[in-house]
Amino acid sequence: MIETLRSTLDRHAAQVAPRPDPYARVLLRRRRRRTRRVSAAALLAVLLVVAPATWLSRQPDPARPVAGHPPVALLPLLDSPTRGSLAGKPAYLLALRERAAGEDDMWREHPAGAPRLPRDPEQIKVLFAGDIGSRRIAVVAGLDSRPLYAVYQGAVGDDAAELRYSASGQLEPVLATDFASGGDDPSQTYLLLGPLGAVYEKAELSFTSAGVQRTWTPLPEPGDYAAFADLRGRHEFRVLLAGKVLLETSGGHAIPLEGGRRPAVDPQPAGGRGEPFPDAAAQVAQALSNSTGLALPEVTFRVLWSEEIDRPGTTTGRAYVVTVQAVLADGSGPFLTGAVDTGDGSFRDHPTGYGIAGDVAHTLIVMRLPHYAESPGDRLQLVAPPLAVRAEVSNGRQTHQVTLVDGVGHLDVPPGMTVTVRAYDAANALLAEKQYVDLDGFGCNRFDPWSCASPPPTRAPAPSR
Q: Which of residues 100-139 bind another protein (CB under 8 A)?
A: 104-106, 109-111, 113-115
Q: Shortest Cβ distance from residue 327 to another protein (Å)?
A: 20
| Residue 37 binding another protein, by CB under 8 A | no
Q: Shortest Cβ distance from residue 159 to another protein (Å)?
A: 18
| Residue 282 binding another protein, by CB under 8 A | yes
On the question of a cis peptide bond just before residue 222, with omega within 30 degrees of 0, the verdict is: yes
CA distance 340 to 311: 10
| Residue 358 binding another protein, by CB under 8 A | no
CA distance 116 to 292: 39
Distances (CA, A) of 76 to 222, 227, 404: 19, 19, 55
Q: Which of residues 415-454 bind another protein (CB under 8 A)?
A: 440-442, 446
CA max distance for the chain = 79
| Amino acid letter, 456 | P
Per-residue burial over 277-298, b = 16 or more CB atoms within 10 Å of its CB, e = otherwise: beebbbbbbbbbbbbbbbbeee
Q: Which of residues 249-268 bind another protein (CB under 8 A)?
A: 249-250, 253-256, 260, 262
In eight-state DSSP terms, residue 274 is B
Give whichever of 126 and 288 is closer to another protein, judged by the CB atom: 288
The binding track of 140-159 with respect to another protein, each residue x by CB under 8 A or -, is --------x-----------
Among 87, 143, 167, 309, interactor with another protein by CB under 8 A:
167
Among 61, 122, 184, 221, interactor with another protein by CB under 8 A:
184
Give whichever of 201 and 248 is closer to another protein, judged by the CB atom: 248
Give whichever of 294 and 360 is closer to another protein, judged by the CB atom: 294
Give whichever of 25 and 69 is closer to another protein, judged by the CB atom: 25
Number of residues forming the site for another protein (CB under 8 A): 86
| Residue 374 binding another protein, by CB under 8 A | yes
Among 18, 157, 297, 396, interactor with another protein by CB under 8 A:
18
Give whichever of 291 and 363 is closer to another protein, judged by the CB atom: 291
| Residue 465 binding another protein, by CB under 8 A | no
| Residue 463 binding another protein, by CB under 8 A | no
| Residue 12 binding another protein, by CB under 8 A | yes
Give whichever of 4 and 464 is closer to another protein, judged by the CB atom: 4
| Residue 29 binding another protein, by CB under 8 A | yes
CA distance 187 to 193: 19
Give whichever of 216 and 442 is closer to another protein, judged by the CB atom: 442
CA distance 194 to 224: 8
Q: Shortest Cβ distance from residue 170 to another protein (Å)?
A: 6
CA distance 401 to 394: 9
Q: Shortest Cβ distance from residue 262 to another protein (Å)?
A: 7
CA distance 407 to 385: 5
Q: Shortest Cβ distance from residue 299 to another protein (Å)?
A: 16
Which region among 52-60, 248-256, 384-392, 426-434 touches another protein (by CB under 8 A)?
248-256
CA distance 298 to 306: 24
What is the per-residue DSSP string for 132-173? ETTEEEEEEEE-SSS-EEEEEEEETT--GGGPEEEEEEE--S
280: Cα separation from own chain's centroid = 24
Distances (CA, A) of 152 to 100, 161, 399: 9, 10, 55
> What is the radius of gyration, based on Cα positions, of the chain?
27
The binding track of 317-356 with respect to another protein, each residue x by CB under 8 A or -, is -------------------x-x-----xxxxxxxx-----
Give whichever of 189 and 300 is closer to another protein, judged by the CB atom: 189
The binding track of 204-243 with respect to another protein, each residue x by CB under 8 A or -, is ------------------------------x---------
| Residue 378 binding another protein, by CB under 8 A | no
Give whichever of 168 and 407 is closer to another protein, judged by the CB atom: 168
Closest CA to 381 of 422, 355, 411, 348: 411
Q: Are 150 and 117 in contact (CB under 8 A)?
A: yes
312: Cα separation from own chain's centroid = 23
| Residue 5 binding another protein, by CB under 8 A | yes
Give whichever of 175 and 387 is closer to another protein, judged by the CB atom: 175
Among 169, 222, 455, 461, interactor with another protein by CB under 8 A:
169
Dihedral through CA 57, CA 58, CA 64, CA 66, nearest 10?
-150
Residues 6+ apart with CB under 8 A from 173: 73, 74, 76, 77, 194, 195, 246, 247
Residues 6+ apart with CB under 8 A from 55: none
Query: How do beta strands 265-266 and 300-310 pair?
Result: parallel
Among 168, 314, 332, 352, interactor with another protein by CB under 8 A:
168
Among 80, 291, 314, 332, interactor with another protein by CB under 8 A:
291
